Each structure stands twice: as C-alpha cells, then as structure tokens.
Amino acid sequence: MQNNNKSYKIVIIEPSMIISTGLKKLIEMRNEFEVVAVIADCFHCLERINHLNPDIIIINPSAVELKKRQHLEELFEGVKDTAFVALVYQYIDPEILKQYHTTIDIADDGDKIAQKLLHSIDALNAPADLLDKNELSEREKEILISLAKGKINKEIADLHHISVHTVITHRKNIIRKTGIKSVSGLTVYAILNNLIDINEVE
Amino acid sequence: MNKLGVESIISNICGKNKDMKSHLFSADMKLADVIHADYSLLLLLHRFGINLGFGDKTVWECCEANHVSCTLFLMICNVYSNEQYLPTEKEIEDIGTDVDQLIAYLKNSHSYYLENRMFSIQEQLKEISEGCEQQHQQILNLFFNEYKNEVIRHFDYEEMTVFPYISNMVKGARPGDYEIGVFRENHSNIDDKLNDLKNIIMKYLPGDTLSDMRIRVLFGIFALEEDLSKHSLIEDKILVPLVMKLEQRYAKQ
C-alpha cells in the first residue's frame, strides 16, 4: 500500500460471526480500510480497543449491555478521535442511534458501506458538535440559509469555502437536528425562524 | 442467555411479534365485529363501495352483495390491521383478474386522499396561519401546495400510465413497451414533506393561538401519513407482484 494513501483502522464489534466475517470481507475489498480486530462483545476488550486506537468502531448496538447503550461515550472514554458507526439489523431505539456518527444497514452493499464509513470520518472532523446538542450551530444556520435560497451542494461548498463532503455532513446534521428532510420544509423552517425573508426564496 | 435472546424477548413484550394467524380477519366473521375490532377499517368500506347498514351480515355476505372480491377485501383489511401481515405469493396470485377491483380501490383511495383528507388539512392550515405573520402564512401555503402537487403528479402517473397498462393487459390487449418493473423501480415515496409538516406545526410554528385546531390538524396529518404508508405497501407488495404474475401469464399466451 502506498504511503500517501492513509488506511483507516477499523474495529468491528458484532456478536454474529456470519455477519462480522462478511462485513470484514466487504470492507477490506477497499484498500482505504483495514479491519484490525473483530470482537464479539465489548465487555472484556475495552483495553484492547483502546490500545488499537482505531479510527472507526463499527458496533452492533445490541452487543452493548442494555444499561450502557445510552452512554456510548462513557463506555469508550479511552479512545480518542474515533468515529462510531452502528451496524443495525433489528429495531434499535432511535435515541440510541443518535449517539453514532452514522448507521450501516444490513442490506447496504460494499460501496454504500465504504461511503458511510468515509462520511463518519468526515462527521468526526466536521466542526459541528455532533454528539449532543440539538440546536443548530452558527455554521449550520449559514448552510441552512443557503439551502433555503435554493442553492445546490456545489454552490454552497464554493460559497463557504468547504468541500462538498462537508456540506453533505452539515446537511445531515441539519436534517437530524430539525427533523425536516425536504428543502422546501427547511425553507419554511428558515422563514419561521426569521433566518431569511420570503422574498429571498427563489 | 445471549444478547440477541434478550432483544427478541423485549420485542415480544412490546407486541412486535404477535402471533399473527390468530389475529387475521376471516370471511365468516360478521363485518360489524371486524369494524369493532379495528375502527380504522371504516375507511375501507367506501373505497370498496360497501355501505353501512349491513346488519349482522358476514364479511363474505357483504362482499357478495356488493360484488366485491372477498379475498381482496380481507387481504386489505388484514394489511391495515396487522403490522406484520403480508399475503403469501399464492394468495396474491389468486386475486387474478380481480386486479381490476384492486385498481378501482386504489383510485378511490387517491381521490379520498386528495379531496377529503388533504383538502381538510389545507383548510385547517389556512385557519391556523391566519393568526400568523403574513410571510409565515404565505410560506405555509406555498409549502402545502408544493406537497399537494407532488402527490397529484404521483397519483396521475399511476392513473394515466400504470393502471391503464394493467387494465389493458387483463382485457387481452397487447401491452406496449411498458412493464410493471418500471413502476417498481421508480415508485417514489411521498411522505417526506408530510413528515416535515408535522415537525413544522408541532415544533416550530410560532404563537399559541388555536391550539385545539393545531392539534386537530396534526391528528389529520398523522392519520393521512399512516394511511398513505399502507397504501404504498399495498401497491408495492400486492399490486406489483400480482401484475408481475399476470405479465408472465399473458406472455405465455
């Protein structure tokens, strides 16, 4: 592997060997990722995980003890700068999923998984405080205003001097925080909150 | 016990894996009992052309009297009432040329959504926003119109392209180059904006006037959303597989 191609270290925590083996195989088809450990549960392996210092931890939330599921950050307080990705194939409380940077669904294909993993890294590096606050950050408000004015991702990226990737991450956070998905819904939100004037909408 | 075991117990307690067969409606139940068991099924009667005043008739008798396919009627009732239920491939195939009735049902649903549900949501929305700032009023109306147009386009495509294609095929006309696979691939979801509207009214609309009206409109939106999700489930999981079977059958002839 070339040096300028950083490969991300990944730990998988998944009780089913069938699933973890398949996932590992899919992930390792892409050379930007390296699975450094596959663990069935995270009760006895925290120290080892800390030591491995992974970039991404993929966790099946049901592999985390019920009481600790709500407190992911506490559980993994030893690791720094790590993106958390939930692997989901049964119903998981959305409140619990909010703690993760992104979610992999059992039906996702290799490309989609790779895309989501890269996004999780982006989300980790994005200035937005992802893990708790529901209020929009100043940056997110600026992006929201651009969106409401009908601008597309590329235009927003140029306008704010950020990458399209980062715009997408901001958009995801805005959607998550407001609970509003459609651009026209976000426009309504922006006007109701007096962020823009109706005349500025195309 | 392993973790997955605990999960399945929890979901059992929450009723997500209810024993399904024992909850399904059957042809020899009285229609009145069916409605007592789940009053949301009242919505289906009109769409099938079944009127109230059916006394103690069974589901089968009511269907006979109104020339409705009892298999189809029960299937739709069960889809509406049971989260987990989907008919088997065999049951779907048995609908056969009664697909016409399914199409009529879907069309009736469309006009009910537009003329009845969405109309009243829009009226209530206007009433609520009358107390709001001019701009707010304007943008809400704009938003709802945009949503309504999206829904109309969605229904129009089905009624002008998909349904005629199916009816023609059943009548024996050689279909053109359309096939139901096209519909399956492109059947878009139309619930994003509706969901947005819920949050807008519930979380963001300023002011506290007409709060009972606000709640009423929210009830209306939630109910419409639920109804629409069953509606697309019926299109995706019953209509599409049925038409695929019919396509195979007619291709052989």
CB pairs under 8 A between A and B: 67
CATH class as words, domain A138-200: mainly alpha
Share of residues in chain B with pLDDT > 90 (%)? 68
Tell me: the pLDDT tens digits for B8-33? Answer: 444 444 444 445 556 789 999 999 99
Per residue in B72-110, pLDDT (tens digit) is: 999 999 999 988 889 999 999 999 889 999 999 999 999
Which of A106, A188, A198 to probe the B interface (max B CBs under 10 A)? A188
Question: Is pLDDT larger for residue A127 or for residue A19?
Answer: A19
Average pLDDT for B39-56: 95
Closest to A147 (Cα-Cα) out of A178, A112, A101: A178
- Which residues neighbour A1 within 8 Å (Cβ) at sequence distance 6 or greater? A7, A31
pLDDT at A1: 38
Name A86's bridge partners: A59, A103
What is the ipTM, given to two decimal places?
A: 0.80
Judge whether residue A44 has pLDDT over 90.
no
The lowest-confidence range among A125-134, B76-85, B187-196 is: A125-134
Name the pLDDT band for A77 (thresholds 50, 70, 90): confident
Among A11, A20, A87, A70, smallest CA distance to A42 is for A11
Q: Is B3's CB within 8 Å of A184's CB?
A: no
Tens digits of residue pLDDT in B160-172 = 999 999 999 888 8
pLDDT bracket for residue B130 (50, 70, 90): confident
pLDDT 10s digits, A187-197? 999 999 999 98
Q: Which residue of A has its CA nearest to B203?
A: A178
B139 vs A63, A180, A187: nearest CB:
A187
Question: CB contact, 8 Å: B143 with chain A?
Answer: yes
The average pLDDT across A155-165 equals: 92
In DSSP terms, A103 is beta-bridged to A86
Residues in chain A: 202
User: Is B204's CB within 8 Å of A193's CB?
Assistant: yes
B5 touches chain A (CB under 8 A): no
Q: Is the pLDDT of residue A144 over 90?
A: yes
| Residue A115 pLDDT exceeds 70 | yes
Question: What is chain A's Cα-based Rg?
Answer: 18
- pLDDT for the residue B20: 53
- Closest residue in A to B199 (Cα–Cα): A179
The Cα–Cα gap between B127 and B217 comes to: 10
Q: Is B226 part of the contact surface with chain A (CB cutoff 8 Å)?
A: no
Mutate to test the interface with A, among B7, B149, B204 (most CBs of A within 10 A): B204
Give the pLDDT score at B3: 43
Chain A nearest-CA distance from B201, in A, is: 10
CB contact under 8 A, B3 and A62: yes
Domain ranges of chain A: 8-125, 138-200
Q: Is the dihedral of CA B123, B124, B128, B133 positive or negative?
A: negative
- C-alpha B175/C-alpha B154 separation (Å) is 22
Give the one of B3, B136, B196 whose C-beta lies nearest to A191's C-beta: B136
CB contact under 8 A, B200 and A91: no
Instruction: Out of A102-116, B29-43, B137-151, pick the least confident.
Output: A102-116
Question: What is the Cα–Cα distance from A177 to A137, expressed in whole angstroms?
Answer: 10
Q: Specify the CATH number for A8-125; select among 3.40.50.1820, 3.30.70.270, 3.40.50.2300, 1.10.10.10.
A: 3.40.50.2300
Question: For chain A, first and last CA: distance in Å?
Answer: 49
Confidence of residue A94 (pLDDT cuts 50, 70, 90): confident
pLDDT tens, B144-157? 999 999 999 999 99
Query: Is pLDDT at A5 greater than 60 in this prediction?
Result: no
Average pLDDT, chain B: 88
Residue B238 contacts residue B75 (beta carbons within 8 Å): yes
